[in-house]
Structure 1
Amino acid sequence: MLSITEEFYALNNTSANYQKYVLISNFLLLTTTSTILPVEFHLSLSSLNDTSSISVTPLSITSLFCFLGVWFNIKGSRDFVKKQIAGECNSFATALRPAKLSAKQVVYLYNSVLIPKLEYRMQVTHLSAADCYAATRSIRSLVKHKANFSRTFPNPILYLSQALGLINLSSHLIQCHVNNLFLMANFSTPLIQHLFIYRLLLIQFRFLIPISPLMVDDWSLWSTMNAFKCDYIACTLASMISTPFRLQHAHFSSTFPDLALPGHTPLYTCMSPHVFKACLKVLWKCHLYYLSQLITLSGSHLVSWTAYQTTYIAQLTDKRGRSFPHKWYMDLKANTTLPNSHDLLYDRYVCSLSTASSVTLIPGATTTQKNQRWLITLDKNDAPLFGKQLSVQPKKDTCMIVHWTSDCLSSPSDVIRFRPYSGCNAHVLFPSADKYTAVPPRCTFKISLLKSLILPTDYERIRQSTMEVVSPYSWADLSITVVSYYRRFNILPDFSSSSLVVECDSAVASPLGELPILSSLVPLLLGSHYRFYTDGSLINLDTPEVSMGWSWVQLIYDAGYLNSIAAYAYGTIHSQAAIDGLSLCASSSYSNSRLYYKTTNFELWASIERFIHTKRLTVFPVKVKGHDGNYWNEFADSLANSAHHSDTAPLLPATAYTSSHNVRLMFDNVICESNPRRFLKLYSQATFLKDLLSLKRFQFVYCLSNKDDYIVDWELTWFALNFSLAHDASFQASHAARHYTFKFKLFLDDLPLLEKLKITRSDLYIDLLTCCSCRDRMEDLMHLILCSKCRPVMHQIFQTYQNHLFSKLREAGELADIDPTLMLRKLSSFSC
């Protein structure tokens, strides 16, 4: 390749700078302290290339390099990304600190310029909340410095959108990663969906998780493993555990199968965490996922180590031929069985009794190359499969067999008779078969010894004249034993391309098709068409009785009569309550509710669009202007309004408006139809306000149980904190900045009063210090207002505020043509 590159440069009359070549390899186990020697590449000489060799000094695997704008690290460490993020934040803070910018301007630059850059660098990397907090320390310090806040100023007020609005890096990255994962799972391209399923299967197989990774509630067991830290999807799912949000399978189909494996009691729930992680590779090789794989057929006892070694998995001896119980088995036995009870399980681990079989067969894993046996197993259709052993691959627990067939399924009560098979689709050519048999086999393929049993027969050897082999057992005798043994290890995820590359199942019915809205379709005349009118209504928005109705009118326009009508009540009241609860945390306004319903309407139409494509309909959407006299549109509107009070209007099922998604977002077991990123942002804002209210300054809020007694008007509070007077000769920009700082310090009880300084700096301020003006009172906030020495100054300040407020009220009264005298008289009567 380098030779071709040199010839290309020669054709274009250019040359390469070999000093800029980057060579990285995981084969060279280099460290940052070792001596790195250059690697020489010998090139092929030609008429266009006269360079015989090139020397390139390789980078250490711990170093990072950039290729096409993306940074790579062969070691897979997060440290280089962490250093990049911290470096970007520090350089940003260093550049803006000497600039004459206000706090709001710094926040704007950080949110608009730096956050997209950090998001790009961390698009496939997860950092903990502590790492993000440490990386952005310089940004918080800069904002507090520009706003003249102290370093101990509470951080939640920085992140609230109603206050400074600084983006929290950790919360922002969770929003990005969860939104990306949601879009990936519901991507319109089948290839991306197959890749997502494949990645979930890999997570299952790598971490021995027998259920879907979307259903795992605690990732702490795997969070310290290097394989977990390098897995983007696993880290994203783990980051959601700290929130009420979960991703959930909406439905299962041929393209999005159920990933749950058969069995009960996953091993990681009944083993010590450190033992499970230490023995993960051993359990992985043994294909052990569930405790039920190690329970006897009676369901009450753990399989003994001797039985497990000889019956389930052979070749567990050491170099001296000894076989001791593995560490994982001893830990499992200690956690699941009663002491001195001969492997009797605790009641919580006992499973239901299995149907016992009177026939006991020896596992195929005990066979060797010397004693060739007849084996029985199951094919991919769970039908019995018979064959004569040829060669054994003990390290892989597989075996090549000669395929023989039987009609035991048609006569299960008769003894099994099988004959040579001419060939099937599973046939794999085995050229070395002549070494093991004198009769050339017609059909050979590979099977797993872990899923095979040795079958007794009347002929142990195949001869030229052998045309039929008989077993003393019938399929009815063996079916329970064979099927239970085969399925005992039939939980290994299938990563073959054939199981993933599946054509899109166009026959999957849309949930809308289950609704009775299209139940009365009639044949159309040539050139005619159906016409549909839809409408919705929303009532009681600011109350717990919020309700949404939806209607559908269907008619054949040429016929002039109704073909079908339907009215539905929207069944997401609990979801709306969750949205309103989050909104109420940050504001008393329900403005976000309307936005939520608009987004939900989009989800509903996405389901309708999928229904149209499934039924292969031709649709021409037309927007009808509301209340313009259109009879059918008005009729649909009246139906939507009647859905709120009609007992016959069914609830619109959740599957109808989420049918376009394979994976849906859940919030406290409530389906979220809105934009995941917007919903996550709203939740993080509510969390910041909760952190703010947990400060000692606002402890009184938790004493208010009645909403009517809730004396904090958050809308007025945020307006007062963010309000800035117009600049003039007497009130300049510097005055406005100090006024802005004073309001927030007053709001958070962060003014540098003596009583406050005694707590924060007890080494400098002793308890005996009093007000420096009157000398006889403790200087707290109330005394600052009522101090006899400061009263004239404070009265002048309050009088200035009152005059300004009254002038604004008079201006507003003139514009609204309302006399403000009554309001001014009421305000002037207040003692403050």
Structure 2
Amino acid sequence: MGWSWVQIIPDAGFLNSVATYAHGTIRNWPSSTRAEIAAIYAALSITPDDFVVFIYTDSQAAIDGLRLCASSTYTNSRLYYKTTNFELWASIECCVHEKRLSVFPVKVKGHDGNYWNEFADSLANSAHQSDDAFPLPEAIFTSSHSIRLVYDDLTCESNPRRLFKAYYQATYMRDLLSLNRFQFTFCLTDQDDYIVDWALTWFTLNFSPSHDASFQAHHASRHYTFKFKLFLDDLPLLEKLKITRPDLYIDLLTCRSCCLRNEDLMHLILCSKRRTAMHQILQSYQNLLFSKLREAGELADVDPKLMIRKLSSLSCWSISSSNWSSYALIRGCLPKLFIDLFVELSIPRHLAMKVVVAIHNNFVQKLRRRIWNPRTYDKSRWKDAMHITLKLKTTPRPSNLPASTYVPFSSLPPLTHLVNSRDSGIDWIKNSMIQGLPWYNHLSGFMGRLTVLLNNSFCKMGCRFL
């Protein structure tokens, strides 16, 4: 990440106005604000004592920070540790007071044709390739304190509470990722046509459809719970019930709709009694995406045929027990291509996400009504015939029963040819500190947030991580 500053001689004429300049790089916690702060620190560190300094910058965050430095806010309040880049700000504050500098920040409009501002930007952008640029050593701007918070040789310059929270979440994440139910995602990372967009997936899980005549408020709770249990592969299918309640569900029990095969999640979709309905639901999903792409093409005055052809060629539309991408789509792990096609048609990403998420929630709603509810009805008729009542199901399992050794059947192929996750072997906490990547750029980071959400908000669902 590059930074630069330019010293200007007032009233020296346009061509002779630049007295000197410097540029360099700074590592970790990348952001445009951090680059601005680094440039300010580098400039003030070589400024003589008792000088009056006017700093022209297009960063409002830098201006606000300089004003706080003038009032010694960073070192005299709890704001210090709550501020990002607090080590840099503390060093600037220390420099200003030790040198008795009078610093006056001046706001300039960014990307508005200001020659000196654009010159400074070009210097910062070329810092990584320039021979005369120098790195800003971490030891210099962290020397204002005798105590530093360090994680794996990296100095923490963000709110420590967030770092501790992230580390705590990581311990849950490791357990969650080790579960068999999520290992299918590693089979997708080598497929060019289906790369999971974890930001879209997270947004989809948290999205609540608007209430209308067909989807009233009391439906929302059932829909939300079903969506999460589908994503977690925690629906009460027979193959799971054989483990949790072996006293009620014997090992030989098969699907109560077709009575032919063992019932796991993939069989729920491929069951011969529901195959036609499933095909119609998936075709409706595809048609809605096509329709929205055509609308986006009309707005952008672009023929969307190429995008539609690319979308229809995705492997996820053909459901089979050997197709991991169709399994991912059903579980709710949505592909990047869904959003990328809309972005290519000049639709802003946040609007494209809302469109795709609304379509996927419509798919989940139809899946619950046309696939899950009929299956539940068939199963309830069998339970009535077997006298498995609600009272019996809620009664604790007899304590004298041995632990179940049943190995649940799976319609899915074995997890062969597993590839490493795109950030496996790298500590994602450290990765985010170095590269500034958000949670969603890491599968593990996504799982960490999911775990916390489940831990905090969905305990009532009784999810069993087996």
Larger helix percent = 2
* TM-score where L is the length of structure 2: 0.48
* TM-score where L is the length of structure 1: 0.29
Larger radius of gyration: 1
Select the structure with the greater relative contact order (CA < 8 A; seq sep ≥ 6).
2
Larger strand percent = 1
